[in-house]
Amino acid sequence: MDMPVSVKAVAVFCGSRLGNNPLYKQVAQKAGQVLAQKNIRLVYGGGAQGLMGVVADATLQAGGQVTGVIPHFLHKREVMHEGVAELIVVDSMHVRKQIMFSRADAFWILPGGFGTFDEMMEILTWKQLQQHAKPIIIVNTAGWADQVIAMLDAAVTQGFATASARGKIEIVSDIETALKHSETEPKTQPVSIEQF
């Protein structure tokens, strides 16, 4: 049986838009509230709009701690969140992901679009390459990620990925389950990463 480990920070990848289903906003709010209640720092993309803004606002309103990481060229497009005490402005998307990775103990993928998919696939690839053993969890609210999950499964069926690689990302239906899975110790120890 796995022993619980201390989760001090969770990186949340999600949309800079709200999406069409009100449940997407609700799950982002719930994520922020739960993280704050459990005294777990939110690490996110630094924006004030869309689901990114919702999760940050919910965390702050519940008294939680937030670290935002945003490239300077997205300052206006994603509207940098001025209410976040620790806001790190970087030069590139790659540096953004490096910092979010280094600050987080687990990764939650909430509803989002191309940017969310990019973040999810990079962090999954790093895990497949044994660069870390941190939990990666898709919160499949209202089936938003069904097609993404089907794509991951198809990669195995088509011979481009192994079932063990596919098993490195978990699918859950709610934030409470995501939290529970984040608190489970990885079965393998992470490799020390100095530079990607």
pLDDT along the chain (196 residues), means of 10: 69 96 98 97 93 96 94 70 82 89 96 95 94 95 96 96 95 96 61 41
End-to-end CA distance of the chain: 32
Question: What distance lies between CA 21 and its chain's CA centroid?
Answer: 20
Map residue 89 onto helix, strand or coil: strand
Amino acid 189: pLDDT: 44
pLDDT at 194: 43
| Nearest-angstrom CA–CA distance, 176 and 105 | 16
Which domains are assigned to the chain? 9-182 (3.40.50.450)
- At residue 184, the pLDDT reads 63
How far apart, in whole angstroms, are the C-alpha atoms of residue 61 and residue 128?
36
pLDDT (0 to 100) of residue 192: 41
The per-residue pLDDT for 3 is 40
For position 40, what pLDDT does the model report? 97
**Confidence (pLDDT) at 85:** 79
What CA–CA distance (Å, rounded) separates 26 from 29?
5
Q: Produce one character per residue of 101-122: b if its CB has 16 or more CB atoms within 10 Å, e if not.
A: bebbbbbbbbbbeebbeebbeb
